[in-house]
Amino acid sequence: MYNPVEQFFLAIAKGNLAKALDTVNGDVVFEAQGPKSVPIYGRFEGKKGVEKFVNTLSDLFNTEAFEIRKWAFSEDFVFAYGYMQHRVSKTNKLFKSEWSLVCQIENERISSYKMFEDTAALEAAYI
- Domains belonging to the chain, first-starting first, are 4-126 (3.10.450.50)
Q: In whole angstroms, what separates CA 113 from the centre of its chain?
A: 8
Give the integer Cα–Cα distance in Å for 47 and 51: 6
Q: What is the pLDDT of residues 5-48, one digit of tens each?
A: 999 999 999 999 999 999 999 999 999 999 999 999 999 999 99
- Rounded Cα distance between 96 and 121, Å, is 7
The whole model's pTM is what? 0.93
pLDDT, tens digit, for every residue of 65-106? 999 999 999 999 999 999 999 999 999 999 999 999 999 999
CA distance 95 to 66: 12
